[in-house]
């Protein structure tokens, strides 16, 4: 890895110049976050009932006493032997954040279309503790544009607020909800594909390292990602199994 090597005084000058740019970016990011919070809301009038570790629960139940709910749309379809490696990469960051989110009136969990028994098997393998429910008996995944029929694969489908080729029956995403004192539930935000980058702590740390994410020579972004118990043995993930 070849790079310029300079004196400490030259390095400090360059670092201070970059710090000014970093501060500009921080202010721009804060302004964007404010715009995100200012988005209008959509009331959820449809009743969704999920299968979970506490039995059957509605979307309103999932708030668990909090006023805000974050749902990760995890790519694990019915009959899948294991979850998407990229979703698994993201999910490795959840357990540590959840207790802190709870202090700010936020509940976070995952939902997949696989039956609960299949979810539990994979969750046990991965050693995760976060709450994970099944939407197998409702239209939640379809309504939030993260699940598609077999006949839609390779065809145009609605995803990430536009039209794209459906590469898999399941696609990743995150959705945020709010509940008012009357118990009404509202959709406040959703993000898909590269919009999920902001919740991947490992990527943020890699961005600090000299090589960065080091993905330019790969056939697609995240081609290097494995489930955390596979790094010594797994082959490259197949294209289309995760967000790019």
Domain map of the chain by residue range?
Answer: 42-206
Count CA atoms within 13 Å of residue 12 on its CB side. Answer: 3
Q: What is the CATH number of domain 42-206?
A: 3.40.30.10
* Tokens 């008012």 sit on residue: 180
Please give the mean pLDDT across all residues of the chain: 94
* Tokens 């993930």 sit on residue: 237
Q: What is the pLDDT of residue 240?
A: 44
Q: Are 237 and 223 in contact (CB under 8 A)?
A: yes
Cα–Cα separations (whole angstroms), residue 16 to 9, 19, 20, 110: 11, 5, 6, 41
pLDDT in tens, 184-201: 999 999 999 999 999 999
Q: Are 221 and 234 in contact (CB under 8 A)?
A: no
| Alpha helices per DSSP H over the chain | 8-37, 85-91, 94-102, 116-126, 140-143, 201-206
- DSSP three-state, residue 133: strand
Does residue 244 surpass a pLDDT of 70? no
Count CA atoms within 13 Å of residue 131 on its CB side. Answer: 20
Does residue 27 surpass a pLDDT of 90? yes
pLDDT in tens, 80-108: 999 999 999 999 999 999 999 999 999 99
Count CA atoms within 13 Å of residue 116 on its CB side. Answer: 14
Q: What angle do CA 130, 136, 140 make, to 5 degrees?
A: 80
| Confidence category of residue 233, pLDDT binned at 50, 70, 90 | low
Q: Which residues are within 8 A (CB) of 75 and not within 5 positions of it... i.e. 6 or more apart?
A: 83, 84, 86, 87, 112, 146, 168, 170, 171, 172, 241, 242
Q: What is the pLDDT of residue 1?
A: 74
Q: How many CB atoms lie within 10 A of CB 28?
A: 10
pLDDT in tens, 107-144: 999 999 999 999 999 999 999 999 999 999 999 999 99
Cα–Cα separations (whole angstroms), residue 198 to 27, 207, 238: 16, 12, 23
């Amino acid at each position: 890895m070849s790079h310029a090597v300079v004196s400490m005084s030259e390095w400090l000058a360059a670092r201070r110049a970059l710090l000014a740019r970093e501060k500009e970016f921080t202010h721009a990011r804060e302004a964007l976050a404010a715009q995100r919070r200012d988005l209008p809301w959509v009331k959820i009038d449809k009743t969704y009932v999920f299968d979970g570790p506490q039995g059957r629960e509605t979307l309103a139940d999932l708030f668990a006493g909090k006023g805000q709910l974050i749902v990760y749309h995890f790519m694990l379809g019915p009959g899948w032997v294991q979850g998407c490696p990229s979703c698994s990469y993201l999910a490795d960051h959840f357990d540590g954040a959840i207790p802190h989110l709870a202090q700010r009136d936020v509940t976070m969990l995952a939902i997949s279309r696989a039956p609960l028994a299949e979810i539990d098997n994979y969750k046990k393998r991965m050693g995760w503790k976060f709450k994970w429910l099944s939407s197998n008996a409702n239209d939640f995944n379809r309504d939030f544009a993260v699940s598609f029929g077999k006949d839609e694969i390779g065809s145009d489908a609605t995803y990430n607020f536009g039209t794209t080729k459906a590469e898999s029956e399941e696609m990743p995403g995150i959705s945020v909800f709010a509940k008012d004192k009357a118990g009404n539930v509202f959709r406040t935000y959703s993000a898909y594909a590269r919009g999920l980058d902001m919740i991947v702590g490992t990527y943020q740390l890699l961005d600090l390292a000299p090589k960065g994410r080091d993905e330019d020579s790969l056939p697609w972004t995240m081609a290097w990602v494995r489930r955390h118990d596979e790094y010594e043995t797994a082959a490259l993930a197949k294209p289309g199994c995760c967000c790019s």
